[in-house]
Amino acid sequence: MFNFTYQLTKLNRLEVVLKTVERCNINCSYCYFFNDKDKSFLKHPKYISLKMIEDVCHFLRVGIEKLKIENLVIIFHGGEPLLQKKKILM
């Protein structure tokens, strides 16, 4: 699925921003996505699929091993990630 054919020097840290929820219940006035005329988010699934989570985990595992990354940080992003069911996040 993913191809790591390029060469990189050893990385110490990889930070991944993972958007797990497409929707938000906060309604911040500065939000460019939910407070504008663009309603394309309504056409997307509300939550990341389990299949996508599995694919991301596999991609990260392969990349970490291949590139010898020592530290991985995953930042949950959304919408609002805490709208997702607890059992999915655990």
pLDDT at 5: 59
pLDDT at 24: 78
* Whole-number Å distance between alpha carbons of 56 and 64: 12
pLDDT at 43: 86
pTM tops 0.95, yes or no: no
pLDDT at 86: 74
pLDDT mean values, one per 10 residues, the chain (90 residues): 58 88 78 74 85 94 90 85 72
- Nearest 5°: phi and psi at 70? -90, -30
Q: Where along the chain do its domains lie?
A: 13-89
Strand residues in the chain grouped as ranges (E)? 13-21, 71-78
Contact between residue 19 and residue 77 where contact means Cβ atoms under 8 Å apart: yes
pLDDT at 80: 77
pLDDT at 58: 96
